[in-house]
Structure 1
Amino acid sequence: MSTWRSHARVVRVLWVIALGLSIAGTFALMERLRIGNSMARRQRWTAWFMARLSAALPFRVNVSGKLPSEPMLWVSNHVSWTDIPLLGMLAPLSFLSKAEVRTWPVAGWLALKAGTLFIRRGSGESKLIQKQMGQHLLGRHSLVIFPEGTTTDGRSLRTFHGRLLSSAIETGVPVQPVAIQYVRDGQPDQIAPFIGDDDLLSHLRRLFANEVSEVHIQLLSPIPSQGKERAALAFEAQQAVQVALFGEAVQPATVRSAAKAA
């Protein structure tokens, strides 16, 4: 790809980020003045911003399936930070994110003002997070989680952790499984994944220096949560995503082993 096209992409993304900062700044001001600072409004404006950010990224996006008409706990496999704007543009949503994101320059502040919930691994805050998630869902606000707990290269699926789905069971909110897949030249995209010791700036440079790739987002059939154990619900969601991505379910022996860990 030519240098000028790469630079043009960077300029476009920077413009969108500046727009996001102005929106987040408005939210911050509304917080101080205690006026019109509702989560529903935050989610609507965040979806609007995510749509513009997604349009500035080098992806052709194909979405299949039906958007839910009621608040749900969305569960998705996790490949890259770009999963967030690509899913966030689909509907008014909030996200559960690792605490490290809160410290990212610009992006961390944007995420906070967008209503993101942050979880610190191994901090003993799981009950507090589950309570916050439950309150969020009871307020009829959809929430997205990545129950693998980390990103992958898109070629496999890790175990979905059942404890992250407890809030759906406690509130009776259905689970919306989502499968997201990045494809380049008919093969799993090796540029889109954001894994290991990768940093955001380097990842952005790689994305903008290469041609447009494809992203397939599948909204799968919702799963009722009432009356289910959290491990069983997690595995049901995992199976749905596994089949959508790779065409085959997890082997029963693997499921039983993972159930003990959850």
Structure 2
Amino acid sequence: MSRLRVYARIARVLVVVALGLTMAGVFGLFERLGIAHSMVRRQRWSRFFMARLGNALPFRVTVHGELPKAPMLWVSNHVSWTDIPLLGMLTPLSFLSKAEVRTWPVAGWLAAKAGSLFIRRGSGDSQLIRKQMTRHLAQEHPLLMFPEGTTTDGRSLRTFHGRLLSAAIDSEVKLQPVAIRYLRDGELDSLAPFIGDDDLLSHLMRLFANDRGEVEIHLLKPIACEGRERAALAFEAQQAVQKALFGEVAKPAEPRRTGELIAA
């Protein structure tokens, strides 16, 4: 692919990012003027932005399953930063993110203005974020988290950690398991994963220097949380995603209740 076409693709993404900055700037101005904006409005505008960013990325997206009609806690496997716009364009959502994202240039500011919740790993503030998540869900605002706590290369699934799933139990909403898979020429895509010491610019250059990849998003059967243990919920969601991605369920094991990592 010619360099000119690659740069044209990147320019399109930058135009969309500029749109997002403008939208976030308007929200910031209103905040300074004391004009409140509801989370519903923030989520709608976030979806508007995510849809345009997702369309600017070099992927063809196929969605399997039905979008939930009620607010839920979405739990998904995590392969790349592109998961966020590709999932965020499906419906108005907020995201649970690691605290470091808030300090990222541009992306952190956009995430904060869009209503993201941030958590610091190992900081002991899991109870605080759990209360924030519970309040968020109880107010009927959908929320998405990545319970693996990190990205993978898409060839395996890590343990789903259940500590923060208590928010779904407390707010009496269901879990919406989601499986996202990247393919290229019928095989698992090796370009899409954003792992290790990879940097965003290099990752973008690799993506845009190649033809479009395929993305499958599977919206799986919601899981009722009432009267359930969080570790059992995490394990059931992990099994559902494992089966959708690889056609097999995770090996039976006793769900962990202690020493769990906090998802980000």
Mean CA deviation greater in 39-48 or 206-215:
206-215
- Tell me the distance in 1 between the aligned counterparts of 2:259 and 2:29: 44
Is it true that 1:256 corresponds to 2:254 in the alignment?
yes
Higher helix share: 1
Deviation at 1:164? 2.0
Is it true that 1:6 corresponds to 2:41 in the alignment?
no
- 1:78-227 alignment, distance < 5 Å: 78-227=78-227
Deviation at 1:76? 0.2
The AA in structure 2 aligned to 1:60 is R
Deviation at 1:203? 1.1
- Tell me the distance in 2 between the aligned counterparts of 1:105 and 1:203: 17
TM-score by length of 2: 0.96
- Tell me the distance in 1 between the aligned counterparts of 2:201 and 2:88: 21
What residue number does 1:241 align with? Answer: 241
Q: What is the CA deviation profile of residues 192-229 of structure 1, one whole-angstrom value per residue up to 9, with x for unaligned ones?
A: 00111111121111111111100000000100011000
Q: Is the 8 A contact 1:94 1:141 kept in 2?
A: yes
Mean CA deviation greater in 34-43 or 241-250:
34-43
Residues 86 and 161 of structure 1: CA distance in aligned 2, closer, same or farther (over 3 Å): same
- Tell me the distance in 1 between the aligned counterparts of 2:201 and 2:107: 12
The AA in structure 2 aligned to 1:246 is F
- Tell me the distance in 2 between the aligned counterparts of 1:201 and 1:151: 18
Q: Secondary structure at the match of 2:254?
A: helix
Deviation at 1:90? 0.3
Q: Which 4+ residue blocks in structure 1 deviate beyond 6 angstroms? A: none
Q: Is the 8 A contact 2:235 2:255 kept in 1?
A: no
Work out the number of aligned pairs and report it: 260
Q: Is the 8 A contact 2:60 2:215 kept in 1?
A: yes
The AA in structure 2 aligned to 1:127 is Q
Residues 166 and 189 of structure 1: CA distance in aligned 2, closer, same or farther (over 3 Å): same
> Tell me, which stretches of 5 or more residues in structure 2 are unaligned?
none
